[in-house]
């Protein structure tokens, strides 16, 4: 039986495909404050700006391609029972071939009702028209968890983490909550592997920890080979 491998990914994975993160000093976020485009208040008070911003994010996503980190993670499905839990809102994991992806912070490829968070629609292409409505009559909004909103998929993610036999963290500073606390749900005997060139906050990790200090696109293929050699035949 394949070992259960959980891969928890953050913005550093998408950044290696050229997708800007909100911490970048340049790129798509350079001309916008988070408060103006990524809060419920912004959507309520400046809807056109918010819709335009997420249309630009979709265009950026569609122009990007999965990088070696995405592909390495997808390739691990040949050897492990892989679940990806991602903080990213793009679809690069799916386009690389990953088949079990839980999006903590929503998905750019979907819209939802402003009144009913369970009323979700796929979006073809990159453009949302500002005045499109759901079947309940409410205006559609990006299917994104804005700052200040609850994270409805977090409970699902904690159950996935609790079942992990190997836990991998890639491209995240472990600074955004509640997502960063996911490591507390991993059995303390389970090995954790961290791929990030910086110094993520590992204060919540109580497990055996291996840190590969590389960008996602470099370190994740290295780690994938190591995991296959060490555990892939079990």
CATH (residue range 1-19+66-105+150-234):
3.40.50.1220
Averaged pLDDT, 143-164: 96
| Higher local confidence (pLDDT), 68 or 199 | 68
For the chain, what is the mean pLDDT? Answer: 93
Amino acid 233: pLDDT: 60
Q: 1-19+66-105+150-234 and 20-63+108-144 share one CATH topology?
A: no
Q: Which of the four pLDDT bands, split at 50, 70 and 90, describes residue 9?
A: very high
Q: Please give the Cα distance from 208 to 194 (Å, whole number).
A: 11
Enumerate the domain spans of the chain. Answer: 1-19+66-105+150-234, 20-63+108-144
Q: What is the pLDDT of residue 30?
A: 64
pLDDT of residue 41: 95
Interaxial angle between packed helices 216-231 and 68-75, expressed in degrees from 0 to 180 and rounded to the nearest 10: 20
- Who's near 203: CB < 8 A, 6+ residues apart? none
Residue 201, Ramachandran bin (φ over 0: left; ψ between -120 and 50: alpha; else beta): beta
**Mean pLDDT of the 32-61 span:** 91
Query: Does the pLDDT of residue 4 top 90, yes or no?
Result: yes
Percent of the chain with pLDDT over 70: 95
Query: Could you tell me what percent of the chain has a pLDDT over 90?
Result: 83
Q: pLDDT (tens digit, 9 = 90+) per residue, 206-232?
A: 999 999 999 999 999 999 999 999 997
| Rounded average pLDDT over 164-191 | 93
CB within 8 Å of 163: residues ≥ 6 apart: 4, 6
Q: How confident is the model at residue 176 (pLDDT cuts 50, 70, 90)?
A: confident
**Of 93, 105, 143, 211, which is the active-site residue?**
105
Buried b (16+ CB within 10 A) or exposed e, 149-172: eebebbeebbebbeebbbbbbbbb
Query: 160-169 pLDDT, tens per residue?
Result: 999 999 999 9
**Residue 90: per-residue pLDDT:** 97
Dump pLDDT digits (tens) for 64-121: 999 999 999 999 999 999 999 999 999 999 999 999 999 999 999 999 999 999 999 9
pLDDT at 161: 98
pLDDT given for residue 27 in this prediction: 53
Instruction: Note the pLDDT of residue 234.
Output: 60
Catalytic residue flag (residue 105):
yes
Q: Say what the pTM is.
A: 0.93
**CATH number belonging to the domain at 20-63+108-144, selected among 3.40.190.150, 3.40.50.12780, 3.40.50.2300, 3.30.1600.10:** 3.30.1600.10
CA–CA distance, 106 with 124 (Å, rounded to integer): 16
């Amino acid at each position: 039986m394949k070992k259960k491998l959980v891969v928890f990914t953050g913005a550093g994975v998408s950044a290696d495909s050229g997708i800007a993160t909100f911490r970048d000093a340049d790129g798509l976020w350079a001309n916008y404050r988070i408060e103006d485009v990524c809060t419920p208040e912004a959507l309520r008070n400046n809807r056109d700006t918010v819709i335009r911003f997420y249309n630009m994010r979709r265009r950026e996503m569609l122009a990007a391609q999965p990088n070696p980190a995405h592909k390495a993670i997808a390739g691990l499905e040949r050897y492990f029972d892989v679940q990806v839990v991602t903080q990213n809102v793009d679809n690069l994991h799916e386009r690389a071939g990953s088949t079990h992806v839980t999006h903590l912070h929503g998905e750019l490829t979907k819209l939802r009702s402003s009144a009913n968070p369970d009323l979700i629609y796929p979006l073809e292409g990159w453009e949302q028209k500002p005045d499109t409505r759901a079947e309940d009559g409410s205006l559609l909004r990006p299917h994104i968890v804005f700052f200040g909103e609850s994270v409805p998929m977090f409970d699902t993610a904690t159950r996935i983490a609790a079942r992990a036999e190997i836990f991998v963290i890639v491209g995240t500073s472990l600074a955004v909550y509640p997502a960063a606390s996911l490591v507390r749900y991993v059995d303390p005997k389970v090995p954790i592997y961290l791929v990030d060139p910086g110094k993520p906050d590992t204060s919540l990790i109580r497990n055996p920890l291996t840190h590969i200090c590389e960008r996602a696109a470099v370190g994740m293929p290295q780690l994938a080979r190591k995991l296959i050699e060490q555990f892939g035949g079990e």
